[in-house]
Amino acid sequence: MIKRGLLVLALLSPVAADEGMWLFNQAPAERLRKDYGFELTQPWLDHVMKSCVRFNNGGSGGFVSEDGLVVTNHHIGEDSLQKLSTPGKDLVQLGFLARSQSEERKCPDMELNVLQSIEDVTAQVEGSVKPGMTVEQAANARRSFTSALEKSESEKTGLRCDVVTLYLGGAYHLYRYKKYTDVRLVMAPEQAAAFYGGDADNFEYPRYDFDVCFFRVYENGKPLHGNPYLKWNPGGTRPGDLVFVAGHPGRTNRLETMARLQHLRDLTLPFRLAALKSEEMALRLYSQRGPEQRRQAQSELYGIANARKAYTGQYEGLLDHGLMSIKQQREDSHRQSAAAVNPAFETVVKAQKSLSEYEKDYYLLEQRLAVQGTAFEFARHLARWSNEKTRANGDRLREYRESNQDSLWQEVLSPAEIFPDLEVAQLTASLSFAAEVLGGEHPTTQLLLAGKSPEARANELVRGSSVTKLAGRKRYKEMTAAELKAQQDPMIDLAFAIDEASRKVRRRYELEVAEPELGAYAQIARSQFTVQGKDLAPDATFTLRLAYGRVAGYRDANRQIPWATTLGQLFANARLHGNEEPFRLPKRWWNREKQLDPKMSYDFVSTADTIGGNSGSPVLNRQAEVVGVNFDRNRFGLTRNFLYSDQQARHVAVHSPAVLHILERVYNAERLADEMRLGHFPTR
């Protein structure tokens, strides 16, 4: 019979040795030493940390040259490819290659962040909340303290400084970043090569994708020089090798209680999926109007379709009795062994019950599911800024604090074109979705539609607004709230009209859900620490993490799935499908087929723990050399949001030797390949 304490440890400990998206200031050195005989050193961690980059649109990447060259995924670079395209020259579809430095194209609104240091500020943040404070007073105190800390650290260091909540409230760390906004496109393949297999193969494996994209960071008008970088390994990796994935996973839910997961399963995910499907259908219909409409919508459509498929996988995982049984057993064991934290679990139950009363309003208004599109997003920022700028920094909504303003205006004042017809299509669909959810007589529906049909209202809002033009946004940014309201801009007027209700539901969420759960999860995390110490990775927060695992295939039914695919298999697969969408290879690939090594390993898999946000992460060997570029998970990995397994779940990466091989033999990009091999401009 297993002793109670050992059972608790077994249930709370990771399912498999390779689990964990680890903090760089809390790395799993002992586990790596024990399981892989690898000595993880501080210089290794520091070098990798300062060589990795975070893309502001939700992805990762890494420096691969001391001259500012950055690698990521095509689907992370797609937003910039879209914005650099013009009618008749679609860089997403056609690809791009700068054959000289002068040809590198500046991206209109890209921001890259490079982490410089992490400091544990848990004691200071928790100390800002005094005994006897109400929930609202505690929330205000914590917000004021963190905003003041971010501001003072930013002024002192000149860096972007963010206080990040970890363990759902169990810890707070201060992250300091160098920020770069002069980022230029160097190379991108055609989407047909980068996203070969399309939606049919998304989250599947075997895969045959050349999902890479290259940018260069500039500083003071010149390529960034001397920053740490990751050497490109032309030999790649082999089965059984230890590999690391260094990137910025977006969000996981592994430490959340059953009450939260059940709420997610029964209410949140079905609602979010319904909204995504509505928006996806609208974008697909818009794309079918013609090639120009397809060009305008393709980047947005890819993101929506990808999110829909990811959420579907999560939803199916939460319907899996096996997965939920494991989660329930772990929670029951935790509560039995640490009865003092039972009130914390009940706090989460109460918070989720409260959320169910107004969750749809929260997502429709505050999360903008009722008013989709770039134009309304910018209109809301402008309307809210006109009020927020009159308040003390610590009293502002988080996105308008001084520490976040540069990033905010980089986005809102982007010179990238806004397409009115596309905005109308998106807004029509979201207004219709809101009416379907709430009913035609609901006050919010009446406010949104103003007595018009969704399509008529969308046309009125978009075509009558100056927000769609950069000059209009620049002018509005400087206005007071009264001056802005006097413009009689319909999109701005709508932003003001729903702002009170939106702020109210946001505040209710903060006071009834977010703040109580912070305290509850802090107690739960501390009780877990007593069992595991710090051998417990926090949930993902779109901050830099280190994952590790072994290169390995897996079994699916009666098939043994190999660790890697080959270039020869790519062409065979295209022929099998008649070279038709989405299994169509670009013409240049067929023209160069005989110059490619059919046995060259192409895409590969490992057990390293990844999630959305890790796209573009460099995959490293023991020497911190790049052996691959992460771009996806297989379908078995979709439930990693809630529970890690290494049985069949895998992340998928493009193999480093294949990248060089294809750059040289398909794209004649010898200059770029040479820079990657040398680690600097080849002329030096």
Position 279 confidence tier, pLDDT thresholds 50, 70, 90: very high
Give domain limits for the chain.
Answer: 16-111+181-248+543-678, 258-523
Distances (CA, A) of 477 to 202, 412, 459: 40, 9, 23
Mean pLDDT of 147-168: 96
What confidence tens digit (pLDDT) does each residue in 182-213 have? 999 999 999 999 999 999 999 999 999 999 99
Cα of first residue to Cα of last residue in the chain, in angstroms, is 68
Position 16 confidence tier, pLDDT thresholds 50, 70, 90: low
Q: Which residue has the higher pLDDT, 533 or 607?
A: 607
3-state secondary structure of 552: coil
Mean pLDDT of 13-29: 83
What confidence tens digit (pLDDT) does each residue in 209-266 have? 999 999 999 999 999 999 999 999 999 999 999 999 999 999 999 999 999 999 999 9
On the question of pLDDT at 8 being above 80, the answer is no
Position 535 confidence tier, pLDDT thresholds 50, 70, 90: confident
User: CB-based contacts of 230: which residues, under 8 Å, 6+ apart?
Assistant: 48, 51, 62, 63, 64, 618, 620, 624, 625, 626
On the question of pLDDT at 6 being above 50, the answer is no
Q: Is 577 within 8 Å of 583 (Cβ atoms)? A: yes
Helix (H) or strand (E) holding 603: strand 601-606
pLDDT score for 51? 98
Rounded CA-CA distance 646/225 in Å is: 39
Q: Is 208 within 8 Å of 565 (Cβ atoms)? A: yes
* Amino acid letter, 463: R
With CA atoms as reference, report the closest residue to 23 among 231, 241, 171.
171
pLDDT score for 4? 32
On the question of pLDDT at 15 being above 90, the answer is no
pLDDT score for 443? 94
Mean pLDDT of 637-659: 96
In words, the CATH class of domain 16-111+181-248+543-678 is: mainly beta
Rounded CA-CA distance 409/300 in Å is: 21
Three-point CA angle 35, 48, 99, nearest 5° = 130
Please give the share of the chain, as a percent, with pLDDT higher than 70. Answer: 97
pLDDT score for 684? 62
What confidence tens digit (pLDDT) does each residue in 320-378 have? 999 999 999 999 999 998 888 999 999 999 999 999 999 999 999 999 999 999 999 99
With CA atoms as reference, report the closest residue to 107 among 80, 82, 144.
80
Chain centroid, CA 308 distance in Å: 14
pLDDT score for 683? 81
On the question of pLDDT at 532 being above 90, the answer is no
What confidence tens digit (pLDDT) does each residue in 614-626 have? 999 999 999 999 9
